[in-house]
C-alpha cells in the first residue's frame, strides 16, 4: 500500500491533505512541510486484550530520595525551581552565540562530581569541544563526549553507556535514517525528540536539549517541542552586552517567573549575585531624565534604571522610541502626562530606555517612567536616592502593585532613602531608615521626586 502524504505546519502543527502557501490555522507563510504517514505497526494487540495496570495511592509514594540535581550554579537552580529534576527533559533555547553550549558544558564540571554525563554535540567536533572545555576549565572524568548527528547511534550509545545525564546540542542537528524527511525539518525534529524523550523517561535520564531559535524568535518546530518537554528555558540578552538572562517559559516542576542572571566573560558564564547593584552601577547623578525602578522577577525584586529624553522635534511628526518598555504603554503614559499635567509633549521627540536590556513586563514602573519623562521635559534631576513604584491609571492615579513588602525591604538594603508608593498600598511593617511617600496621583509623585534633589542640591 502506498504511504499517504500530508502536510504539517512547522509552526503550529496543523495537518492538511494539500499544500498551502499560508497555514490555514495560524496564518504563517511557507511553513507547511510534506510528511508521509507511517504504516501502523503490524501485530498490535487490540485494546480489549490490554491488562489493567496497578495504581498506587498518592500518600504511599515515597519522595525521600533526592530528586533534583544541583548544577553548581545557584542562578540556574533557581530557574529550575531548586535544581534539575531527575529524569526530566529540559529544552534550552536562545539565539545563536548567546551561550547555550557554554553554560551546559560548564555545569558538567559540577554534575560530573556525582553522576555520569554524556555530552552529544552535532555542531562541534570532539577537538572543538575539548578546546572549549579547556577554556572553561572543565575536566571532569565523569564527562564523556560524542560528536554525532545520527539518532540511532546516539540511542545505542546511551543504552550502552547508561549515563545519568545526557546533553544534546542541538536537537536540530539530530536526524534519523529511518525517516524519509530531510534533516532539520520539523517532522525529523519531532520524531527524534519523541524518541529521545521516551528513552529519557523510561531510563530516568535527565536530558538537556539545545534548541535553536528561528529568525522570528520562536524555537524551531516551536509548539511541537514545547509540548513534549518538561521545562523550557530561554536564554536572552543583547549580544553586545555581556550579561544574559535565563528565563523559564514552561516548568512542570517549578515557577515560571524566576530569572537567572549571568555575565559572559573570558572563562564562560558567571553568575551575577547582585543584579540590582550591577544594573544601577552606571546611573548618572544630578542628571535629568533618569529614575530608579523596581521590577519583580519571580519572587525577587530587581532594581534598575529607566531613562527618558524629551527633545524638540525637528520634523512635524514627533518621534517616540521605546526600548525595554511596551510602545503602546509608553504612548498611554505620554497621553496621561499631556492630559493630566498639561505637558506639551506633542512637539517633542520622546525616547525611553530601560538600561541593561531589561524588559518591563509589569506595570509597576509606570510612575518611574512618568517621572523620568517629566524630569527630562523640565530638565530637573530626580533625587538620586529615590525609587518610584506604582502603576499609573488613565486618570493619572497611582494604583497599587503586588509584592510591596519585598520591594521596600530590598530598596532599604540597597540604600535608597525615599520611596514613592501608591496611596492605597497596604504596608504591614514599619521600615526604618527610609521615608515612604504614599501618593495619590502622578502630580504628587513628580513633586516629591524633584523636591529631594533641591534639598540635597547644595551638598
N residues, the chain: 459
* Binding at 13: pick from Mg ion, ligand TYD, none (beta carbon under 5-8 Å per type): none
**Shortest Å distance, C-beta 183 to ligand TYD:** 18
Of 192 and 370, which CB lies nearer to Mg ion in the complex structure?
A: 192
DSSP conformation class of 82: S
Nearest residue (CB) to ligand TYD, 187 versus 189 = 189
Is residue 121 close enough to count as binding Mg ion by CB under 5 A? no
CA dist 367 and 370 (Å) reads 5
DSSP reduced 3-state for 85: strand
Give the closest residue to 345 by CA, choosing from 331, 356, 362, 366.
331
Q: Give the residue with the Cβ less far from ligand TYD, 90 or 98.
A: 98
In the complex, what is the shortest distance from the CB of residue 90 to ligand TYD, in angstroms, rounded to a whole number? Answer: 15
Binding site for ligand TYD (CB under 6 A): 94, 96-102, 132, 135-136, 264, 266-268
Q: Cis (ω within 30 of 0) for the bond into 170?
A: yes
Nearer to Mg ion among residue 120 and residue 388 (C-beta): 120
Closer CB to ligand TYD, 268 or 422, in the complex: 268
C-alpha cell at 112: 560530573
Q: Is 456 helix (H, G, I), strand (E, B) or coil?
A: helix
**CB of 88: closest distance to ligand TYD in angstroms?**
21
Given ligand TYD, Mg ion, none, residue 132, with its beta carbon under 5 to 8 Å by kind, binds ligand TYD
Candidate residues 31, 71, 88, 101; the one interacting with Mg ion per rule CB under 5 A: 101
> How many positions of this chain bind Mg ion (CB under 5 A)?
1
**CB under 8 Å to 98, separation ≥6 — which residues?**
235, 236, 237, 239, 244
CB nearer ligand TYD, residue 134 or residue 447:
134
| Owner of C-alpha cell 512541510 | 33
- Residue 195 interacts, among ligand TYD, Mg ion, none and using kind-specific CB cut-offs from 5 to 8 Å, with none
Residues 6+ apart with CB under 8 A from 88: 200, 206, 207, 230, 231, 252, 253
Give the residues lining the site for Mg ion (CB under 5 A): 101
Amino acid at each position: 500500500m502506498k504511504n499517504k502524504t500530508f502536510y504539517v505546519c512547522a509552526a503550529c502543527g496543523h495537518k492538511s491533505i494539500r499544500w498551502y502557501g499560508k497555514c490555514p490555522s495560524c496564518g504563517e507563510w511557507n511553513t507547511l512541510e510534506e510528511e508521509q504517514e507511517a504504516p501502523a505497526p503490524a501485530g498490535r494487540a487490540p485494546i480489549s486484550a490490554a491488562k489493567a495496570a496497578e495504581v498506587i495511592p498518592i500518600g504511599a509514594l515515597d519522595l525521600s530520595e533526592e530528586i533534583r540535581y544541583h548544577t553548581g550554579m545557584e542562578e540556574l537552580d533557581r530557574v529550575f525551581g531548586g535544581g534539575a529534576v531527575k529524569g526530566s527533559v529540559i529544552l534550552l533555547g536562545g539565539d545563536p552565540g548567546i551561550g547555550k553550549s557554554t553554560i551546559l558544558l560548564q555545569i558538567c564540571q559540577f554534575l560530573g562530581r556525582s553522576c555520569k554525563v554524556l555530552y552529544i554535540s552535532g555542531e562541534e567536533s570532539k577537538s572543538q569541544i575539548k578546546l572549549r572545555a579547556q577554556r572553561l576549565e572543565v575536566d571532569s572524568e565523569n564527562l564523556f563526549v560524542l560528536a554525532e548527528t545520527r539518532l540511532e547511534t546516539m540511542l545505542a550509545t546511551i543504552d550502552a553507556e547508561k549515563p545519568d545525564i545526557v546533553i544534546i546540542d542541538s536537537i536540530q542537528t539530530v536526524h534519523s535514517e529511518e525517516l524519509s524527511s530531510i534533516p532539520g525539518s520539523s517532522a525529523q525534529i519531532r520524531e527524534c525528540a519523541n524518541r529521545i524523550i521516551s528513552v529519557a523517561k523510561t531510563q530516568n535520564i535527565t536530558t538537556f536539549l539545545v534548541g535553536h531559535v528561528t529568525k522570528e524568535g520562536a524555537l524551531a518546530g516551536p509548539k511541537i517541542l514545547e509540548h513534549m518537554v518538561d521545562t523550557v528555558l530561554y536564554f536572552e540578552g543583547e549580544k553586545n552586552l555581556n550579561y544574559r538572562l535565563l528565563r523559564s517559559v514552561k516548568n512542570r516542576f517549578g515557577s515560571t517567573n524566576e530569572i537567572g542572571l549571568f555575565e559572559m566573560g573570558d572563562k564562560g558564564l558567571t553568575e551575577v549575585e547582585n543584579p540590582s547593584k550591577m544594573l544601577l552601577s552606571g546611573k548618572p547623578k544630578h542628571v535629568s531624565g533618569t529614575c530608579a525602578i523596581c521590577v519583580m522577577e519571580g519572587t525577587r525584586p530587581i532594581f534598575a534604571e529607566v531613562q527618558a529624553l524629551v527633545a524638540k522635534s525637528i520634523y512635524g511628526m514627533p518621534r517616540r522610541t521605546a526600548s525595554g518598555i511596551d510602545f503602546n504603554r509608553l504612548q498611554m503614559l505620554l497621553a496621561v502626562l499631556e492630559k493630566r499635567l498639561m505637558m506639551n509633549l506633542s512637539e517633542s521627540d520622546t525616547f525611553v530606555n530601560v538600561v541593561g536590556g531589561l524588559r518591563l513586563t509589569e506595570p509597576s514602573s509606570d510612575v518611574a517612567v512618568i517621572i523620568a519623562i517629566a524630569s527630562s521635559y523640565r530638565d530637573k534631576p530626580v533625587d538620586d536616592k529615590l525609587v518610584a513604584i506604582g502603576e499609573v491609571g488613565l486618570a493619572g492615579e497611582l494604583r497599587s502593585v503586588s509584592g510591596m513588602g519585598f520591594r521596600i525591604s530590598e530598596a532599604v538594603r540597597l540604600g535608597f532613602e525615599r520611596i514613592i508608593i501608591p496611596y492605597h498600598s497596604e504596608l504591614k511593617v514599619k521600615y526604618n531608615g527610609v521615608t515612604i511617600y504614599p501618593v495619590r496621583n502622578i502630580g504628587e509623585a513628580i513633586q516629591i521626586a524633584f523636591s529631594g534633589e533641591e534639598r540635597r542640591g547644595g551638598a
